[in-house]
Amino acid sequence: MNTQQFLLSAWMWNPVVLAIAAAALALYLIAFRAADRIGWFVLALLVFLLTLVSPINALADGYLFSAHMLQHISLLLIVPGLLLVGLPRSFSLKWRPRILAHPLAGWIAGVGAMWFWHWPTLCNAAVTSRSVYAVQTVSLLILGTLFWSQVIAPREAERLSPPGAVLYLFSACVSCSALGIILTFSPLTVCPVYAIPAADPLGITNMIRADWAITPERDQQIGGLLMWVPMCLIYLGAIFAQIARWFGEPAPARTTSA
Amino acid sequence: MNEIAAVLERTGLLSPEEREHWKMAWLSTVDHKRIGILYMMTGLVFFVIGGIEALLIRLQLAVPRSTLLHPDTYNMVFTMHGTTMIFLVAMPVLFGLANYIVPLQIGARDMAFPRLNAYSFWLVPFGGILLHFSFLSGGAPAVGWFAYAPLSETPYSSQSGVDYWALSLLVLGIGSVGANINFIATVLCSRAPQMTLRRLPLFSWMIFVNAFLVILALPVLNAGLVMLLIDRLLNTHFFLMPGGSAIMWQHIFWAFGHPEVYIVAIPAFGLLSEIIPVFSRKPIFGYEFVAGSTVAIAFLSLGVWAHHMFTVGLGHTIDLFFVASSMLIAIPTGVKVLNWSATMIGGRIHFDTPMLFCIAALVQFLLAGLTGVSHAVAPLDWQTKNSYYLVAHFHFVFVGLIVFAILGALHYWVPKMSGRMLSERLGKWTFWLMVIGFNMTFITQHFLGLAGMPRRVFTYSDLPGWGWMNMVATVGTFFMTAASLLFVWNLIVSLLNGRKATDNPWNAWTLEWATTSPPPHENFRALPPIQSRRPLWDIAHPDRPDPVVGSRGRIDQFKPEKNKTSIICFILSETGFFGVLILAFLYYNASPQPGPNSHELDLLTTGLFSICLFASSFTIWRAETGLRNNQQRRMIGWLGATIVLGGIFIAGQGFEYWHLFKSGVSVSSNLFATTFFTLTGFHGLHVCVGLIALLILLGLALAGDSRKKPWPALDAVGLYWHFVDVVWVFVLSVVYILPRLQ
């Protein structure tokens, strides 16, 4: 199979994924009608679909660690972030139990998800077992939402102050970079199932190794670098948004008293 | 010598009572203004030393096949030139300026911790003396300012020069962290009530942001230096074969080294952002963008160090990512350049010396940025990295931007510091000599580099064009020398009989100009109202004041307790240090090696004394509760319990070490042993420091000091103690538990 054939044929229209996306859209329309932020919500669903039905998913399914990392970043950061931005500003996230609303809980959720799912045993299990994979996908979405809600909760009152949010995002960025650095330079294979593919149902191993020139070592490096650099840029983008929020506060009318 | 005292007294830098003991009055000072001046004077002394070294380098390179300097001497001179100019000139002078200006700009009486400030300053001359002592001990370091391993290791540099280098950088690093914790605490905790965070003048804002960069980046270097010293003194091999990795040193060095460039550049950006608006008679264009892009630069700079290592051979994959991320830095820096330019457009520009230097800095920095982008392109970088093109690039940053901005700032603020104007005529001469000399030296070096002249060489063959270009570069340095001498002359003359400076000679708008020149002991007799970013403009033009910059209340007024703030910053900084050590442990122990390994460790004993350490977090929390509830005896009891538990932990660790030594495991056995003793040893050291702090608290509490309200020391030490415990959670899992799971 060559690259073009692969890119055209490797779309897996998983009915569960499609149903979830459709249900989410339906719920949104019922709850908020066509609120003006619906564009962001639809974008979130599109990214969600792209992550789980496109060739990225096929590659992540036992072929490429780096594709798995793309999925991971997308499900943990991009989709939950867009979802939250897509909610109407009046919507309140009432986390129960209350402890989930604590910044430390959000931080541990966002950073912990990264470290937890890259434990070699779990990373392997998520590839070899469909049910673990499903758990991973759902957990990433939930943990990502917990993480972002501290920064971009629809209600201003439920967010961290801009300087606090900058520290929150920056420390998360550093922690993920640390893992990315470990993955990039580790002489060990973090997710062995990608290094020695058990089977080749799509018949694309040759294409990956020969046409794309991605060896298992390089694959893990790309995965690590994706977490180290572009993922940090997402946090950085959010940091800019916080700075804009900080300086963008409308100035109150001038008071005459000193 | 009494003439000096007389001059100082006449200008107001010495009070009449201090005249008899004027030297002690200055050397024992804790006043931020005097410390700032001491910082700058120290920087000036080392600038002379580093400048002479630069002259020697250029004299040696003036003609092909020169034999003026012995090759070894040349290597020492250029190593010392680089180290001196960065650590003993650029950083002290900028920190000195910040020390002087920031408290004035934010309407504070002094820095948050005046004694810490004095301590941080005094580490600079001591570090400098330590570094230069290497000349007497058999030879200065000759390994370049980056001290690449394995050249810097004992087999290749057997003399003690590198040891002095590493020790002095450690001393200076600790001083820098102390100074910058102080800047953060000062800006957050000592601002005038109306000086909300969003009204901060840009220089103060940038020093504040930069301080975070310093406290995060310097500990990375410190960790690397500690590892290098352990290698050299205890015969281990972090950065040496077998097992060690020379590339690891480069990663650690540049993980510090790249932010370091911005650590000295961001304050310079701050200087430009203060001076350009004043001499353009316009407010800065896009304050928010200048302030925000600073944060962007600071964050980006922490994650792009690998672009210093394109020629090392990290592989195309890694190169590709860092090409992209490095280029991103051009965006926020470009934003700044546009803002400064837009500030000048349509302004009534006054071409006084400070402004001339700033305009030159802007132009030179633009060129530095362009060559910088060319270095972000890996294939181009492979061609030019080790050539004079790179030398030219970073001198455009360090001299073209930073030294020019500093000179501009000194011409701008010295009247405030001494109460005497500098001579404009001499200033303009300084400026033109400096600009012409600088460009003769360093524009030429771009072409030398492109013609293939490698850097770090002590001489070169007579290839076409190399001879005359090097000669031009050398002549340029003499222009710069003349400019520097002229500047010092200008300072002396103005101090002796310069025109008296008014409070606000430049009609500037920030608070430092609202007090006398020089300012009185605690800076302000009364503060003007502050409602915008230019309070003095508002006073001068009540009919058309600047728009009020809002105060959001809670956040803008954010004024945390200073002891707690400083300890949190210290913890942030220590996290960087331990982060490097933990990553190093993981890296070196990724694959098992011959000799002792973690299975020799007794998890049970360690588990037991670890429980004591964790329990001590609980006891100190009880002690804090006791203090809050005003139960002195209970508080002292829990404090004692904490000390006992911490003591048990240290004793347990000592027992473990003794056990290992007895079975023949020492720090140089293999890399497991090296990393084990380094990581647990440094943690143990921190526990000991914590214990000392707790014992001091206990002594104070027994003496009744804790009856005073408030008593913030316990909270601060408590935070530190919790941090030490949390670090142990990580050490325990990485060293003891993780290897057993594999």
DSSP string, B314-370: --HHHHHHHHHHHHHTHHHHHHHHHHHHHHHTTS-----HHHHHHHHHHHHHHHHHH
Q: Is B198 on the interface with A (CB under 8 A)?
A: yes
Its sign, for the CA torsion A214, A215, A219, A221, is: negative
Query: Rounded to the nearest 10 degrees, how much is the dihedral formed by the CA atoms of B676, B677, B679, B683?
Result: 130
Query: B261: burial class by Cβ within 10 Å (0-12, 13-18, 19+)?
Result: middle
Q: Is A186 on the interface with B (CB under 8 A)?
A: yes
At residue B711, does pLDDT exceed 70? Answer: yes
Which residue, B488, B522, B556, sits at the end of a domain?
A: B522
Backbone angles phi, psi at B178, to 5 degrees: -60, -45
pLDDT confidence of residue B17: 84
CATH code, domain with B272: 1.20.210.10
Which one is predicted more confidently, B463 or A197?
A: B463
* ipTM of predicted complex: 0.90
Whether residues A252 and B587 touch (CB distance < 8 A) is answered with no
Residue of B nearest to A224 (CA): B318
Domain that holds residue B608: 589-741
Measured between beta carbons, the chain B residues lying within 8 angstroms of A173 are: 299, 303
Query: What's the mean pLDDT when you consider all of chain B?
Result: 93
Q: How confident is the model at residue B557 (pLDDT cuts 50, 70, 90)?
A: confident
Residue B583, domain member (yes or no): no
Mean pLDDT: which of A104-108, A160-164, A209-213, B314-318 is highest? Answer: A104-108
Measured between beta carbons, the chain A residues lying within 8 angstroms of B287 are: 247
Q: Side-chain half-sphere of B40: how many Cα atoms within 13 Å?
A: 22
pLDDT confidence of residue A99: 84
Residue B358, domain member (yes or no): yes
Let me know: does A57 contact A51? Beta carbons within 8 Å: yes
CA distance B320 to B7: 60
Name the nearest CA neighbour of B141 among B168, B162, B169.
B162
Integer CA distances (angstroms), B1 to B6, B497, B686, in order: 9, 18, 46
pLDDT confidence of residue B8: 84
Per DSSP, chain A holds a count of helices (H) and strands (E) of 14, 0
SS3 B669: coil
Average pLDDT over residues A22-35: 88
Q: Is A46 on the interface with B (CB under 8 A)?
A: no
pLDDT confidence of residue A258: 36
Which pLDDT tens digit goes with each residue over B371-392? 999 999 999 999 998 999 999 9
pLDDT confidence of residue A254: 43
Q: Is the peptide bond before B535 cis (omega within 30 degrees of 0)?
A: no
Residue B11, domain member (yes or no): no
Residue B491, domain member (yes or no): yes
Which pLDDT tens digit goes with each residue over B332-346? 999 999 999 999 999
Residue of A nearest to B527 (CA): A258
Backbone angles phi, psi at B387, to 5 degrees: -115, 180
Longest dimension (CA), chain B: 84
Name the nearest CA neighbour of B499 among B589, B438, B404, B426.
B426
At residue A197, does pLDDT exceed 80? Answer: no
At residue B741, does pLDDT exceed 90? Answer: no
Measured between beta carbons, the chain B residues lying within 8 angstroms of A162 are: 555
Whether residues B318 and A221 touch (CB distance < 8 A) is answered with yes
Whether residues B303 and A185 touch (CB distance < 8 A) is answered with no
Domains of chain A by residue range: 3-246
Q: Is B296 on the interface with A (CB under 8 A)?
A: yes
Nearest to B547 among A173, A188, A251 (CB): A251
Which one is predicted more confidently, A103 or B4?
A: A103
Query: B555: burial class by Cβ within 10 Å (0-12, 13-18, 19+)?
Result: middle
- How far A121 CA sits from the closest chain B CA (Å)? 10
Q: Is B291 on the interface with A (CB under 8 A)?
A: yes
Residue B470, domain member (yes or no): yes
Tokens, residue B36:
């700032």
Which residue, B522, B550, B574, sits at the end of a domain?
A: B522
pLDDT above 90 coverage of chain B, percent: 82
Domain count, chain B: 2
Q: How confident is the model at residue B553 (pLDDT cuts 50, 70, 90)?
A: low
Average pLDDT over residues B435-440: 97
Cα angle for residues B715, B721, B723 (degrees, 5° grid)? 105
Average pLDDT over residues B6-31: 86
Query: What's the mean pLDDT when you consider all of chain A?
Result: 88
Q: Are residues B518 and B593 in the same domain?
A: no
CA distance B434 to B476: 9
Which pLDDT tens digit goes with each residue over B76-101? 999 999 999 999 999 999 999 999 99
Q: Are residues B515 and B653 in the same domain?
A: no
Residue B429, domain member (yes or no): yes
At residue B660, does pLDDT exceed 90? Answer: yes
Let me know: does B127 contact B168? Beta carbons within 8 Å: yes
Let me know: does B424 contact B523? Beta carbons within 8 Å: no
- Please report the residues numbered 151 through 170 in chain A whose beta carbons come closer than 8 angstroms to any beta carbon of chain B: 161-163, 166, 170
**Of all helices (H) and strands (E), which one includes residue A236?**
helix A230-247
pLDDT confidence of residue A253: 43
Let me know: does B50 contact B88? Beta carbons within 8 Å: yes
Which pLDDT tens digit goes with each residue over A163-178? 889 999 999 999 999 9
Residue B159, domain member (yes or no): yes
Q: How confident is the model at residue B552 (pLDDT cuts 50, 70, 90)?
A: low
At residue B590, does pLDDT exceed 50? Answer: yes
Average pLDDT over residues B126-146: 92
Report CA B290 to chain centroid distance, whole Å.
21
Longest dimension (CA), chain A: 77
CA distance B279 to B353: 10
Nearest to B303 among A161, A177, A244 (CB): A177
Measured between beta carbons, the chain B residues lying within 8 angstroms of A212 are: none
Average pLDDT over residues A77-86: 94
Q: Are residues B516 and B625 in the same domain?
A: no
**Which residues lie closer than 8 Å to A43 by C-beta, 6 or more apart?**
A82, A86
Residue B547, domain member (yes or no): no
Report CA A164 to chain centroid distance, whole Å.
22
Which pLDDT tens digit goes with each residue over B144-190? 999 998 999 999 998 899 999 999 999 999 999 999 999 999 999 99
CATH code, domain with B718: 1.20.120.80
pLDDT confidence of residue B528: 92
Query: B591: burial class by Cβ within 10 Å (0-12, 13-18, 19+)?
Result: exposed
At residue B608, does pLDDT exceed 90? Answer: yes
Average pLDDT over residues B527-553: 88
Whether residues B591 and A187 touch (CB distance < 8 A) is answered with yes
Query: B559: burial class by Cβ within 10 Å (0-12, 13-18, 19+)?
Result: middle
End-to-end alpha carbon distance in chain A: 75
CA distance B507 to B610: 62
Q: Are residues B361 and B480 in the same domain?
A: yes
Measured between beta carbons, the chain B residues lying within 8 angstroms of A178 are: 579, 583
Whole-number CA gyration radius for chain A: 20
pLDDT above 70 coverage of chain B, percent: 99
At residue B551, does pLDDT exceed 80? Answer: no
Which pLDDT tens digit goes with each residue over A209-229? 888 888 888 999 999 999 999
Which pLDDT tens digit goes with each residue over B289-309? 999 999 999 999 988 888 999
- How far A232 CA sits from the closest chain B CA (Å)? 9
CA distance B550 to B598: 58
**Which residues lie closer than 8 Å to A246 by C-beta, 6 or more apart?**
A162, A163, B198
Name the nearest CA neighbour of B216 among B724, B687, B569, B564.
B569
